[in-house]
Amino acid sequence: MASAVPVSVPEKLVDRHGRAITYLRISVTDRCDLRCRYCMAEQMTFLPRAALLDLEEIALIAERFIARGVTKIRLTGGEPLVRRDMLELVARLGRSLGHGLDELTLTTNGTRLAQHAEALFDAGVRRLNVSMDSRDAATFRHITRHGDIEQVLGGIRAAAEAGLAVKINMVALNGLNDQEIAPMLAWCIDQGHDLTLIETMPLGQIDEDRADRFLPLTRVFDDLRARFDLKFDNRSTGGPARYWRVASTATRLGLISPLTGNFCASCNRVRLSTDGKLHMCLGHDDSVDLRAAIRSGGLAEVDARISEALDLKPAAHDFRIERGAAPAVARHMSVTGG
């Protein structure tokens, strides 16, 4: 991949609410090899490949964000490792580490991690998130519709062996995996992984009513606090998680609670969708089209549109889960990037 053409460096990214934007999430594909019930419909219509940013465009846009003060990039999807030549993009972005970029990381479902863990480490990735909502084979297959838990566990082992720190992301689902949350934390302690619990979010139309599966993390945390010695950790990433340390262990517990605990006041992130839309908030439809910008006016136009987007970033999202209600936004999480 060619290097970016030098252009003048514009001002740093600060939104109209005074929040510095230092974190970019990039969805490299809306496709996934699983069909998790809370995330996707069983029969999904994906974007045509012609509508996607190519990997060179993603790299050039990412490098403009780095030039303007973004220090952390997370590659997501969909499942990012299903995209062809994905590792070429990782290697390209990895060259910015130590040159404005502090961290390059990845969120994956783990199905292809065993094949790619060493290459990710070699490219500069040092930690990643693995989405895994159950360690029970039957429950995992039900949630994902066809997934093989042993494949994911094998990927997690390969990642650890390659030197990658692993954090497990687990969506709390009432009546599906609620009885597995405490055992998952115990397993993470044993394995030396962190665990982040996430409330289900009303993004995109699915085949079920999310209200049936919504599990407030306030209730979950009360149960975990009765079982584990949890100490508040004031570590702040500017992100949505609130952290606790499990005493006498290396494991940290994170809670992401968009419904029961709004975390927007310290939001430091924006999201680049797989079709080149820059979304300033996961829960709003406002966006600017960076694909059109880079194809019509190059990097100078990209910079102008990024500056325009800063004025669109809202103070907060407005997520609600009510029985029979439409999702907060029509697009699925996989398009915007989790």
Binding site members for [4Fe-4S] cluster: 32, 36, 39, 264, 267, 281
Answer yes or no: are the C-beta atoms of 193 and 159 closer than 8 Å: no
165 membership: H or E segment, kind and range: strand 165-172
Kindly give the pairing relationship between strand 269-272 and strand 72-76. Answer: unpaired
DSSP three-state, residue 329: strand
Amino acid symbol at 269 = R
Answer yes or no: are the C-beta atoms of 20 and 12 closer than 8 Å: yes
Which residues are known binding-site members for S-adenosyl-L-methionine?
A: 38, 78, 131, 201
Answer yes or no: are the C-beta atoms of 302 and 294 closer than 8 Å: yes
Rounded Cα gap, residues 332 and 338, in angstroms:
10
Which residues are known binding-site members for GTP?
A: 25, 74, 107, 167, 269-271
| DSSP-assigned beta bridge partners for residue 272 | 26, 278
Distances (CA, A) of 78 to 90, 102, 192: 16, 24, 26
**Closest by Cα among 167, 59, 73, 162 to 119:** 162
Which residues are known binding-site members?
A: 25, 32, 36, 38-39, 74, 78, 107, 131, 167, 201, 264, 267, 269-271, 281
Greatest CA span in the chain, whole angstroms? 58
Going by C-beta distance under 8 Å and a sequence separation of 6 or more, which residues neighbour residue 46? 30, 31
Answer yes or no: are the C-beta atoms of 134 and 177 closer than 8 Å: yes
Distances (CA, A) of 44 to 34, 97, 243: 11, 36, 34
